[in-house]
Amino acid sequence: MADDFDTKANAAIKAEVRMISGCHDAQTSADVSNVGSFQLPDPAGRAGGACTSSLLNVLYADHQAPAENLSWVDTLRQMRTILKGKGFEQVPQLTSSRMIDVNETMEIVKGDGAKRALLIGINYVGQNGELSGCHNDVLNIKEYLMDVQGFEEENITVLMDDGVHHEPTRDNIIAGYRRLVAESVDGDTVFCHYSGHGGRLADDDGDEDDGYDETLIPVDFQSAGQIRDDVLFSEFVHPMAEGVTVTCLMDCCHSGTVLDLPYRFVADGESDVMVPDESVDFTGFLGDAFWLVASAAGSGGGGGLCDCIMAILGAILGGGGDDDDGDSD
């Protein structure tokens, strides 16, 4: 059974995709009014999100990387300790497209390929539910990526509703993810950060155990709709090229499975291993046709024809998920 799950995971997601999120789907994230208490670089009295702030406090306190390499489990548990000490109930978790030994060193960059980033910060300026920390989150993450991980500024796309950068609209966010897919090849590194509101909508295709799709909420959600996890999977996770290493930081409510990745580690202090998330519905994401062809290709039937059909199906599925949804949570 485990082998079948792993086979489906490898077929559905070719890249190595990892996501750090600030909470389970049912939990809410938090906007921190004083990032100075997290010892962020140059807080200047501004605000930052709890998940982003705690991660940077672990990885980049006082503009310095840790003296020793940290494992995934060390990083997430230290985040949990910081959050708990500040009165937050969030439990950070790591989800992945592949089973990870969480006791191994946390690596964002692998190989010598290009490094690209998409950083999204939405304060919803002038709207109900306006946040105050998301722009600061993005600027701090950008500094960390450039200073510690060697990203070049020209390869970092920033979307913020600050009147300076491109607006984080639904179209611009999806276009940003699509651009990463189009440009990234084997050996490249991708980092994505989202700081803003997250939500949940009633599942519209039967692929969610809990009956809800997790969503990102763009700045123009009232007119353009939210971005469902199904769209993120079909536009970004599924079509990303094999050999690309992707790390995502999602600092928003209901973010636990917003990328629908099949393996999970929760930093609740009770576990030190990653486990399969059996609730992931690969058939629901990609459809019966994809898996019929994948099964034939895996058994050796069809040869090049199966490969061709798989490529066509992948192209269709990777470009067909941009459906509007006007509801908001």
Q: What residues are labeled active site?
A: 197, 253
- Are 48 and 32 in contact by the 8 Å Cβ rule? The answer is yes
What's the Cα-to-Cα distance from 314 to each of 18, 76, 106, 169, 251, rounded to whole Å? 21, 33, 30, 26, 29
User: Around Cβ 277, how many Cβ atoms within 10 Å?
Assistant: 18
- Are 244 and 184 in contact by the 8 Å Cβ rule? The answer is yes
Q: In 3D, which of 170, 186, 160 has the Cα closest to residue 232?
A: 170
Q: Which helix (H) or strand (E) holds 297?
A: helix 288-298
- Return phi, psi of residue 133, to 5°: -110, -5
User: Around Cβ 33, how many Cβ atoms within 10 Å?
Assistant: 13
User: Around Cβ 202, how many Cβ atoms within 10 Å?
Assistant: 10
Task: Give CA angle at 328 (327, 329), nearest 5°.
Answer: 135
Residues of 67-104 as b/e, b for ≥16 C-beta within 10 angstroms? eeebebbbbbbbbbebbeebebebbbbbbbbbbbebee
